[in-house]
Amino acid sequence: KMRIAVLTSGGDSAGMNAVVRSIVKSAILKGCETYVVREGYEGLVRGNSEAVSSVPTSSNAKEHHRSESPLASGDADSFVHNLRFGDGELLRDGTGDHPGGRSLKGRYIVRVGWDDVRGWFSQGGTLIGTARSVVFRTYEGRLTAASNLIKEGIDAIAVCGGDGSLTGADVFRAEWPKLVAELATQGRITPEQAKAHAHLRIVGLVGSIDNDMSMTDLTIGAPTALHRICEAIDNIDSTAFSHSRAFVLEVMGRHCGWLALLAGVSGGADFIFIPERPPEADSWEDEMCKMIQRHREIGKRKTIVIVAEGAHDKHLNPIRAEYVKDVLTERLGLDTRVTTLGHTQRGGRPCAYDRLLPTLQGVEAVEALLEATPDTPSYMIGVAENKITRVPLMDAVRMTNEVTQAIKDKDFDKAMSLRDPEFRE
Ligand code: F6P
């Protein structure tokens, strides 16, 4: 019976809980045992070593849970008949509301069952926690992570995160045989364990509000963040209209302009700054003011400018919302305010598509893990023209890095065409 663990890593995004739910449920239906790793890669490195003594006995009796669970003794079908019963530990964690509750203190790799993830698709953020782990970037950290996985008998992991998190997953997998050999030499695992865990299966799902991953049309959480920005624009619109003001909105996205661009189109912005396509003119200030002046002359009472947090001019000098405000105030005499939307874009309930997409992708992720062989690459689950896809993870990461490099090289046409192969000047 394959043991699959799922973790979320990097910045949280709406839909991550739906990923966990979908993977847990699909894996159970395929007869697998399911685990979550709390706090991303950090939890993988911490493992369950501090466990038992600090945990109330009612919740730490892992073996007891296993033996009484319908999954432990029966097959997937018998489990399906017992869907009412939680098989895992999250529901029994003592706090009753959050998987990071006190009885799981010191335990990061946790057995979960059907009921543990019930209703998770409507929750924002990630209930199993996330982190940007520094220690997992070190070889020693990955060695300990491997040892923790093997101790729990886990054969496969599904990682939901951005490009950095998925790169980490692929490095881990490539290194796995070396890690296992070293653990066996050090006596941290038995030769039998080394043999049983000769290969690690890994699959990536892209959870990021930035929609910055190549080879997939959408990342999980991006539609919700976009929706949030549109709502903010609508709210700002009415006050801007009332006072006939200008507003400069700074939105997230790191090196990617997707959120800014699509929010600008969906919300009717007057001017948009994105990293991939800086203004053409030597003086973007003139270009922007000319455009906004024209809009005002044809009767617009309000002005909305959207600045992606990674925006810059064509010489790569950052374009900051505060500076844009000063330009609008001084050159056009507009009463201007800045609104930085910040983390309101990232948190909160997922929109419908950020429930649907992770649900479908979770099913595909489990299939990919079950079908993986030592010779197949690690896959990233994507979506292209509304179809769920499987693409080699490293190809997607490489292409994503190429975009960032093209921006750094000021090759903006290349950046645009890598983001969108249909892009034409
Ligand atoms: O990658 C997601 C993201 O929200 C980016 O848009 C933003 O630049 C960054 O994370 C913010 O990170 P933090 O929450 O660590 O400040």
How far apart, in whole angstroms, are the C-alpha atoms of residue 74 and residue 175?
35
How many angstroms is it from 332 CA to the middle of ligand 1?
33
Give the least confident one: 78-82, 147-151, 195-199, 354-358. Answer: 78-82
Residue 48, ligand 1, Cβ within 6 A: no
Residue of 132, 224, 252, 341 to test ligand 1 pocket, by largest number of atoms within 8 Å of CB: 252
242 is an annotated ligand-binding site residue: no
Residue 107's pLDDT is: 86
Cross-strand bridge partners of residue 7 = 37, 159
How many angstroms is it from 10 CA to the middle of ligand 1?
9
Residue 422's pLDDT is: 74
Q: How confident is the model at residue 332 (pLDDT cuts 50, 70, 90)?
A: very high
Residue 163, ligand 1, Cβ within 6 A: no
Contact 196, 190 (CB under 8 A): no
- The residue whose CA is least distant from atom 11 of ligand 1 is 11
Residue 346, ligand 1, Cβ within 6 A: yes
Residue 180 is inside which H or E element, if any? Answer: helix 163-185
Residue 97's pLDDT is: 45
378 is an annotated ligand-binding site residue: no
Residue 425's pLDDT is: 59
Q: How far apart are the first and last CA of the chain?
A: 53
- Find the radius of gyration of the CA atoms of the chain: 24
Catalytic entry in 116, 170, 210, 270:
210
**Any catalytic annotation for residue 210?**
yes
How many angstroms is it from 223 CA to the middle of ligand 1?
16
- Residue 74 clears pLDDT 70, i.e. is over it: no
- The residue whose CA is least distant from atom 2 of ligand 1 is 11
- The residue whose CA is least distant from atom 8 of ligand 1 is 254
Residue 11, ligand 1, Cβ within 6 A: yes
Please state the pTM of the whole predicted model.
0.88
Residue 201 is inside which H or E element, if any? Answer: strand 201-208
Q: How confident is the model at residue 119 (pLDDT cuts 50, 70, 90)?
A: confident
The SS3 of residue 381 is strand
How many angstroms is it from 260 CA to the middle of ligand 1?
14
Residue 86, ligand 1, Cβ within 6 A: no
Neighbours of 405 (CB within 10 A): 13
